[in-house]
A and B are shown apart, each in its own frame.
Chain A
Amino acid sequence: MLKILVSRLLSTLVVVFGVACIVFLLIHLVPGDPVEVMLGESAQQADREALRSALGLDLPIHTQLLNYFNGLLHFDLGVSLHSKRPISEELLERIPATVELAVASLLIAIMIAFPLGVIAAVRKSTIWDSSAMTISLLGVSIPNFVMGPVLILIFAVQLGWFPVSGREGFASLILPAITLGTALAAILSRMVRSTLLEVLNEDFVRTARAKGLSETTVIWKHALKNAMLPIITLLGLQLGVLLAGSIITEIVFSWPGIGQLTIESIKRRDYPVVQACVLLISLTYVVVNMLTDLAYSWLDPRIREGNL
């Protein structure tokens, strides 16, 4: 287990380093002079030079990279050009909204995907299976920025049950969470179905049936428990859908989270904030995947004991 732990940590460190390098390089991809793009053409020469040296863009690139990593290690992400406040402070303000949305969407996804996936797997090749998979296919094919406005149209505009947008109280969370949650549920239900189908072919399921256990016990206690491990790992990977999807969903519903900050900062050409947001989102993804990976290795005794 220790060996797995060390090797996972090392490879994660390499990935984190690479991600940080790419994010650092983003500002150098700005066509032309990034300082000019950020300040606009009417800016004074003195202001330009001031910003250039404030961002360290006048230094040789390896010094810039070193400074960047030095800042990262001290959680110093620089200052927003727009609000003149430390970026880390701005991020901290936005994180709760995004986490709230992500957790709510995840819960909705699980509540939809498990029943759908289990029904489809248990009644394979029946009308149940094909309807469940058709619903899931529809879910995969409707992007967030179509689903969101349609939900707003029905439940906020026509029925008036929920607010159209913004983040004020529990009611405002429901529509964005459904938008993001159904997108995830569509993928997750297919994974639940295929994983459960694999497990249902295993010998221990046949044994459980041969013992005369009821079909409910076989599925919920024997099959689903064993299917949970791969499903959890896949869920970790699908967190990417959630994180990337939350950017667009936050824009649809004016939800004041990290995603909205990312897009607002792109529009304001506040590139240091864009860099910080991209870094935060991708590092969250990397760390969660490492943790699910480790949890998997630890939960599965075959891997934990090093026999596999």
Chain B
Amino acid sequence: MQFFTSHRSWLPIGILGLWCFFAVFGTLLPLNPNHIELSKILVSPSGGEALLGYDDLGRSIWDRLVVGARTSFFVAFWVVSISVVLGTIIGVVSAYIGGVWDMVIVRVMDIFLAFPGILLAIALAGILGPGISNVVIALSVVGWVGYARLSRAQVLSIKNREHVQAAIALGSSPRFIVMKHLIPLIMAPLIVEATFGVAGVVIGEAGLSYLGLGVQPPAASWGSMIRDGADYLLVAPHMVLAPGIALMLVVLAVNLLGDRLRDYLDVRSRSD
């Protein structure tokens, strides 16, 4: 368990731990993210009670930040889970069956990859209408392709190995071979990809909410908090900075952890 004990993993694990904690247990905390205090409109952070200040409606930024953590965590959880499962099934089956089906699926993947970044998600979220489930749908439609392509490439490189041939010769069913002999071997790169995927989805959700295509007011998302704050940049920069820094820390932590995981799971670079 050298991965978890290394001091370089502490910071990202700590940040992500806090993120998960607030997302899961946030509802148990005494928070009033929609409570309006007219006397505190645009009050700056000053320690004590006004931990991170108040927004343009007099709502506590800290309370909204915690609720926003919940939004981004659950979107990330669902999008990455759906994308990984769907993408891996499609990729593995495509590579294992081969032939015409494989060709068709590769073409379909090429078509989805032709939409740069979150363009397709923006269009889908815009057309399906706002709401958190539509955000999950839009980001999953874009997300599965990466995992499908990766798992297909991985399976193509190992499906002719001796242990798979032996399993076929022993009369194992394709289902058994896929589950026991192929998927366990391609897990490592998929885990790394999924880790980086979390960063992409967190930015994607915040981006959609920033554009007004994500969660609806008064629900809080870091992206929509940044959008609301942009109008008050001159008088209350904390409205942008607080959610902006939270977002950056989570994405940074995920990327750091992804880098560490990649080095750890890559046996060749693990010299010691």
Q: Which residues of A pack against B, CB within 8 Å?
A: 11, 14-16, 18-19, 22-23, 26-27, 29-31, 137-138, 140-146, 149-150, 152-153, 157, 239-241, 243-245, 247-248, 251-252, 262-263, 266-267, 271, 274, 278, 281-282, 285-286
Contact = CB atoms under 8 A, between A and B. Distances in A.
A149 B229 contact: yes
Contact of B212 (A144, A243, A267): A267
Nearest to A148: B230
Contacts of B110: 11, 14-15, 18
B210 A241 contact: no
B255 interface: yes
Interface of B: 107-108, 110-111, 114-120, 122-124, 126-129, 199, 203, 206-207, 210-213, 223, 226-227, 229-230, 233-234, 237, 240-241, 244, 247-248, 251-252, 255-256, 259
B117 A244 contact: yes
Contacts of A153: 233, 237, 240
Q: Is the interface of B mostly helix, strand, loop or mixed?
A: helix
19 contacts: A11-B110, A15-B111, A16-B114, A18-B108, A19-B115, A23-B123, A141-B248, A143-B206, A143-B248, A143-B251, A145-B207, A145-B223, A145-B226, A244-B116, A251-B211, A262-B123, A263-B211, A266-B122, A282-B114
Contact of B213 (A22, A149, A266, A281): A266
Given A137-B256, A145-B206, 6 more contacts: A141-B252, A143-B251, A153-B233, A244-B116, A278-B115, A278-B120
Contact of A19 (B111, B118, B203, B233): B111
Contact of B114 (A138, A271, A285): A285
B119 A278 contact: yes
B118 A244 contact: yes
A19 B109 CA distance: 11
**Residue with the highest number of chain B CB atoms closer than 10 Å, among A157, A247, A248:** A248
A144 B240 CA distance: 13
Contacts of A240: 116-117
A274 B230 contact: no
A274 B117 contact: no
A26 B226 CA distance: 29
A241 B229 CA distance: 25
A274 B248 contact: no
